[in-house]
A and B are shown apart, each in its own frame.
Chain A
Amino acid sequence: LAKTTQPISMDSYEGQEVNITCSHNNIATNDYITWYQQFPSQGPRFIIQGYKTKVTNEVASLFIPADRKSSTLSLPRVSLSDTAVYYCLVGDGGNTGTASKLTFGTGTRLQVTL
């Protein structure tokens, strides 16, 4: 089962771009990479998901190199409200019988200040 490693914490100023990297060295061929955001006392909230190269939505971009052993979540122009914990999640390949066992990392605590 693929494990993930993220920095424990990061600091940023408001308006800057923030990049959070997740390592997943033993990712399986069919695994997808998903990022979630969590505020205190709330459930995680989906941000973005990808398989390879680059994915972009209205809130973030996800960069995945060719070897897929890592991924980078990019948050453009963060604001104070982006202060949260960000989780990288790897899984699953969708093979019937082994699918959907999902592993979260320990998360990166992002602190945004003025």
Chain B
Amino acid sequence: EAQVTQNPRYLITVTGKKLTVTCSQNMNHEYMSWYRQDPGLGLRQIYYSMNVEVTDKGDVPEGYKVSRKEKRNFPLILESPSPNQTSLYFCASSLLIRDRANEQFFGPGTRLTVL
């Protein structure tokens, strides 16, 4: 089944404790992206990747890191989480058509709480 998976689905952690949220897709998509969703603010892009070893900042990259060592995986890293990073996180992937992201397929989301 074609899908985007994220792990963990739920996470409660404390300020400053490094964490990684994994994202994997099995559709051989070049494009992958991370979003956070907060009440009243919609979805905001954190980072995106056009292909292996190619990543770039979205609208809200502060406090986050990503890597794209393999085409299928795009982990989101919070080196020193803070309470303002409490949010619902979505990973998405898409084919690129003439360098343009096409229909994005979203993962189920990761609800992160930072105490």
B42:A92 contact, CB within 8 angstroms: no
B33:A102 contact, CB within 8 angstroms: yes
| Chain A window 75-114, contacts with chain B (Cβ cutoff 8 Å), 1 for yes, 0 for no | 0000000000001000111111001111111110000000
Measured CB to CB, the closest approach of chain A to B64, in angstroms, equals 15
Instruction: Specify the chain A residue showing the minimal Cβ separation from B107.
Output: A43
B48:A96 contact, CB within 8 angstroms: no
Q: Is A29 an interface residue (CB 8 A)?
A: no
CB contacts between A and B, total, < 8 Å: 73
- Main secondary structure on B side of the interface with A: strand
CB-CB contacts below 8 Å: A25-67 with B: 32, 34, 36, 41-46, 49
A42:B100 contact, CB within 8 angstroms: no
A100:B109 contact, CB within 8 angstroms: no
User: CA A45 – CA B107 in complex, angstroms?
Assistant: 10
Count the A residues whose beta carbon is within 8 Å of the partner chain — how many? 27
- Tell me which residues across on chain B come within 8 A of A91, comparing CB atoms: 101
- Tell me which residues across on chain B come within 8 A of A46, comparing CB atoms: 103-105
Q: Do A100 and B43 contact each other (CB < 8 Å), given the known contacts A43-B90, A95-B99?
A: no
Q: Which of B40, B42, B108 contacts A104 (CB 8 A)?
A: B42
Q: Is B50 an interface residue (CB 8 A)?
A: yes
Q: Which of B31, B42, B92 contacts A43 (CB 8 A)?
A: B92
User: CA A73 – CA B31 in complex, angstroms?
Assistant: 25
7 A-B contacts, Cβ less than 8 Å apart?
A44-B90, A46-B104, A94-B98, A100-B50, A101-B45, A101-B58, A102-B45
Q: 3 tightest CB-CB pairs across the interface, nearest first?
A: A43-B106, A94-B100, A106-B42
